[in-house]
Amino acid sequence: MREALKFYIDGQWVDPVEGVKPLDVINPATEQAFGRIAIGTAADVDRAAKAAAAAFPSFSRTSRAERLELLGAIIAEYQKRHADIAAAITEEMGAPAWLATQYQAALGMGHFQIAMEVLKGYSFEEDRGGTRLVKEPIGVCGFITPWNWPINQIACKVAPAIATGCTIVLKPSEVAPFDAVIFAEVMHAAGVPKGVFNLVNGDGPGVGAAISSHPLIDMVSFTGSTRAGIEVAKNAAPTVKRVAQELGGKSPNIVLDSADLATAVGGGIQSMMLNSGQSCNAPTRMFVPRPKMEQAKAIAKATAEAITVGDPNGNSVIGPVVSEVQFNKIQGLIQKGIDEGATLVAGGPGRPEGLDKGYYVKPTIFADVTNDMTIAREEIFGPVLAMLPYDTLEQAIAEGNDTVYGLAAYVQGDEAEARDVARQLRAGQVNINGAALDLTVPFGGYKQSGNGREWGDHAFAEFLETKAVIGWGAAQAAE
């Protein structure tokens, strides 16, 4: 039984201000509690924010070399705990061990490595005539992170914040908190100065709202649902702090007539099913030329039925979804797809055969979906794909953009044609022909998928203010 009944504040593990209020953490593969955390309150956030604010004046003035040394120490300690972080992720949110090790934990490491490389050459100052423009750390940053890619979302915020000289108050998801606890141990072992990194476990109404509204917190970065993101923005508004958000998605995957159908459909389904479909940028709406729909259905059915579901510590491709709440929501939306007349190609309601315990969902494919159906509009956040036929490319692009979201999009087919389509899609990232993930490029969305950008050098901008010092070089400018 894992336990984390203290919070990491001001360089030490401390008891909650108002006493321990325990919360069981459930293993979604067994439906049993495997650990407990303490749930924090606004008083704990206040304590952490004050520690971060006290640490900011000195940490914000550290040199590039000092921060590079610190990032290197964090990476070294992270490497020592890589396996521990992966094991925690498998236990708390059900990612198969191979996925937790090779992707989930590895991506966390990757963001620190990228931040270190960016920092080496990042320009914090620029002269324009007699004026010097200076980019300075914004201050205390509040981070509220999700359960689906937990350490990835922590690292892609913490790494650039440390690199730019900011201090941090983190609230990880209470559904998947133990990887964050191990990460706090990593930060401590790396010698992060006290108060620079603080962790308070808790829920959204108690700790998340307190972070969003706290007057000592200068910016808040949130990853999660659009509904919760709206509440974060409302809570942040009275203090006029900067708000950066990465929210929901309903990403189109346009299969061009020129695409190799087996590669495009099969690859699109495998990408969508990764992490049990619990990725905000998953390609959940596949647009297929109408004359090729029957062939695409056959490929989709075979692909989905080859995806093994089961024990995340075994050899399964996908494990359970994260919780009973999530399982019930997905089941309801699968039934909604059936009720609204979509063609069920594979999967369907209920658990996969042979699994009577755990929040397992059948890899499910719907075809003949229209863009007004619920399963084409709502973010399902499970292993459920909607296939939509199109008659013209213009229709596919228009329907692809016909969503409140705009986080990601995908195009498969002739490269020149795919590039032209990519330019017309309203999304923060567009992937052509299954290109590999690139952690150096900006990640974030249009419309209700959020604002701001994470990853690489674009992430640094979120944690910097720009100061114009007029007259800095007046004498030189006059010459």
CA distance linking residue 235 with residue 98, whole number of Å: 39
185 in any annotated domain = yes
What CATH number did the domain enclosing 147 receive?
Answer: 3.40.605.10
278 and 359 belong to one structural domain? yes
350 and 421 belong to one structural domain? yes
477 in any annotated domain = no
Three-state secondary structure call for residue 451: strand
321 and 189 belong to one structural domain? no
364 and 456 belong to one structural domain? no
241 and 334 belong to one structural domain? no
Strand partners for 14: 7
194 and 319 belong to one structural domain? no
246 is a catalytic site residue:
yes
By CB atoms closer than 10 A (0-12, 13-18, 19+), residue 413 is buried
218 and 88 belong to one structural domain? yes
Helix (H) or strand (E) holding 231: helix 226-236
Number of structural domains the chain divides into? 2
Provide the domain limits for residue 330. 252-432
437 in any annotated domain = no
CA distance linking residue 363 with residue 270, whole number of Å: 10
Per-residue pLDDT of the chain (479 residues; tens, 9 = 90+): 999 999 999 999 999 999 999 999 999 999 999 999 999 999 999 999 999 999 999 999 999 999 999 999 999 999 999 999 999 999 999 999 999 999 999 999 999 999 999 999 999 999 999 999 999 999 999 999 999 999 999 999 999 999 999 999 999 999 999 999 999 999 999 999 999 999 999 999 999 999 999 999 999 999 999 999 999 999 999 999 999 999 999 999 999 999 999 999 999 999 999 999 999 999 999 999 999 999 999 999 999 999 999 999 999 999 999 999 999 999 999 999 999 999 999 999 999 999 999 999 999 999 999 999 999 999 999 999 999 999 999 999 999 999 999 999 999 999 999 999 999 999 999 999 999 999 999 999 999 999 999 999 999 999 999 999 999 986 554 44
148, 379 in Cβ contact below 8 A? no
253, 376 in Cβ contact below 8 A? no
348 and 323 belong to one structural domain? yes
Residue of 91, 174, 246, 454 marked catalytic = 246
CA distance linking residue 214 with residue 28, whole number of Å: 33
439 in any annotated domain = no
124 in any annotated domain = yes
Q: Is 274 left (phi over 0), alpha (psi -120 to 50) or beta?
A: beta
Residue of 77, 92, 280, 399 marked catalytic = 280
212 and 343 belong to one structural domain? no
